[in-house]
Amino acid sequence: MQTSSSTIPIETTDFQPEWESKGNSGHFLEKGKIDLSHGEILYIEDLVVSFDGFKAIKGLTLDILSGELRCIIGPNGAGKTTMMDVITGKTGPRNAQVSGRVFLGQTIDLLKLKEPQIAQIGIGRKFQKPTVFENLKVWENLELARKSNKSWRVALTAKVNQDAIEDMEKTLLQIGLEKEAYIPAGELSHGQKQRLEIGMLLMQKPELLLLDEPAAGMTDEETMQLADLLNQLRGTCSIVVVEHDMEFVSALSGETGIVTVLAEGAVLAQGTMEHVKNDPAVIESYLGR
């Protein structure tokens, strides 16, 4: 990609997204205003989630530090998706029986917020299947994501300011798609689409990114490219990755990163990859299968 901002065929504007919203705690929820004074971005305590009496989460307690890249592994049915659904507000007291505490930072009670509010305060989620706009160019996908609180038609026709152009260029470099900026997203490989979708989340300046099996369906090379990207993001935002691919988890956790193993709706084990892969309970319930 040509890196000069003048090469992007878009105009400038003073477009300012209205993303502030009022939570039911009575406080205005504002991105970048998460209270990280205790070092934790996410705190889950004794969470129980039941669907018509069936307990999918059974007393889950977990905390994620600000800037941490945490991998969560576990067998099918362990409650990983349900946990992500609760954090993002897709599942909550409105559509399930939920007890316990789920806090973003020290003060934001996620169980009291709705899905759009949670997205607005800076929790971004990527589902397993890439969802990019195939007919739009790569940069247009990033631009749409930046203005995601507008309708796509308004977002695409609105003008783009200099900051946005710099953001897009930075993100294109981060996700390794600078050469593909002007091609339709539909022409990207599966791995490139996954990276583009992560770039779309990055354009929204997330505080916490939740990635659900991002390496699924990738070649070994694409998997390691994704691991490089996520390792580079370490420290810039907090990231939770749910994954089954153990090589990918090893590449993300390294020798010191914490891996959490969920089983039957609770934490079965937690520690470095070396620690959890040698834990007899983990071998029995997951790795040995």
**Where along the sequence are the contacts to ligand ATP (CB under 6 A)?**
51, 54, 56, 74, 76-82
Q: What angle do CA 120, 242, 215 make, to 5 degrees?
A: 100
Report the nearest approach of ligand ATP to the CB of residue 85 (Å). Answer: 7
Taking the complex as a whole, the smallest distance from the CB of residue 53 to ligand ATP amounts, in Å, to 10
On whether the CB atoms of residues 5 and 169 are closer than 8 A, the answer is: yes
DSSP state of 136: S
CA dist., res. 192 & res. 131, Å (int) = 12
What tokens appear for 124 in the block? 């971004």
Contact 138, 177 (CB under 8 A): yes
Nearer CB in complex with ligand ATP: 80/147: 80
Closest distance between ligand ATP and the C-beta of residue 289, in Å?
12
**Strands (DSSP E) found in the chain:** 21-22, 28-29, 40-51, 54-65, 69-73, 97-104, 108-109, 123-126, 208-212, 238-242, 259-263, 266-271
**Cβ nearer to ligand ATP, comparing 177 with 241:** 241
CB of 75 to ligand ATP, least distance (A): 7
Q: With CA atoms as reference, report the closest residue to 74 among 288, 272, 285.
A: 285
* Smallest separation (angstroms) from ligand ATP to the CB of 80: 4
CA distance 227 to 100: 33
* Shorter beta-carbon distance to ligand ATP: residue 177 or 261: 261
Between 181 and 218, CB nearer to ligand ATP: 218
Nearer to ligand ATP, 23 or 89 (CB): 89
The residue among 76 and 157 lying less far from ligand ATP, judged by its C-beta, is 76
Question: Residue 166: which of 184, 143, 188, 183 has the closest Cα?
Answer: 143
Residue 141: closest CA among 176, 88, 182: 182
- Least distance to ligand ATP from the beta carbon of 60, Å? 11
The angle, 0 to 180 degrees and rounded to 10, between the axes of the packed helices 220-233 and 190-203 is 10
Amino acid at 223: T
Q: Which is nearer to ligand ATP, 80 or 193 (CB)?
A: 80
The least CB distance from residue 56 to ligand ATP, in Å, is 3
